[in-house]
Amino acid sequence: MTFPNAYQGLKNVFTAQILSLISTGCTLIGGLTGGLGVIAGSVATGLGGGVLVIGALVLSLLSLIFTLMGLSRASRDEEAFKGAFNCSLINLIVTVILNILMAFGIGGSVLRSVSTIISLILTILMIAYIFKGIDNLAGKLGRSDVSAAGRSVLTFLWVVYAVTIFCDLMILLFPTASVFMGIMGVISFLAGIGMIIGYILYLVHLNRAKQMLQ
């Protein structure tokens, strides 16, 4: 294996994304189950939903740990992964600070929107650095097919994230323009579908990179 650290690091990042995906599913199911439990007056159903939500938080934390560990190790073989590590770490610190402020009732919905926008920006930068690292390794290994595939996926992700960030920013700046907000809502919904597609493509490319390095 030519780049063992990069291989193991990307393997950890891939695992982190799977955990994050499961966490999102648990959050959605837990929230729905908990809500139904409250409506139906079922304590067991409500508690079950609460357990799923707590499980989702644990999985989310594990995902973050695996991501940071993976990027740190991968950076031993490829410098570009350091940029991804820094973006991920900054995202964590900023998110924690903003969540603490919101927990004390500071900022309200505005701060929540700002937090989302900052997180989106740092996430796409992290992904861009990861793809750059994979591209550099692919160049060293003569795998132009992996490089070409990665550039196509990254271009798609840039577009989807840019549209999502733009919509969130417009909704933040012009919350009372109902017709305009309706249009932004539709575009944001379509961008959300694009996010799901992009996330799948991201996972596929991570797996492709792992196979290249194996």
What mean pLDDT is reported for the chain? 84
**What per-residue confidence (pLDDT) applies to 186?**
83
3-state SS of 4-52 is: HHHHHHHHHHHHHHHHHHHHHHHHHHHHHHHHHHHHHCCHHHHHHHHHH
**What per-residue confidence (pLDDT) applies to 58?**
79
* pLDDT band (50, 70, 90) for residue 111: confident
pLDDT above 90 (res 82)? yes
Q: Give the integer Cα–Cα distance in Å for 109 and 129.
A: 30
Of 49-63, 102-116, 172-186, 194-208, give the range with the top mean pLDDT: 194-208
Rounded to the nearest 10°, the torsion over CA 89, 2, 212, 16 is -30
Q: What is the pLDDT of residues 164-193, one digit of tens each?
A: 999 888 888 877 666 667 787 788 888 888
**What per-residue confidence (pLDDT) applies to 10?**
94
34 compared with 76, residue with greater pLDDT: 76
Q: Interhelix angle for 4-40 vs 178-213, to 10°?
A: 140
Residues 49-60: what's their mean pLDDT? 69
pLDDT above 80 (res 107)? no
**What per-residue confidence (pLDDT) applies to 179?**
64
* pLDDT band (50, 70, 90) for residue 155: very high
Judge whether 141 and 2 are in contact, CB under 8 Å. yes
Share of the chain above pLDDT 90, in %: 45
Q: Give the integer Cα–Cα distance in Å for 82 and 48.
A: 40
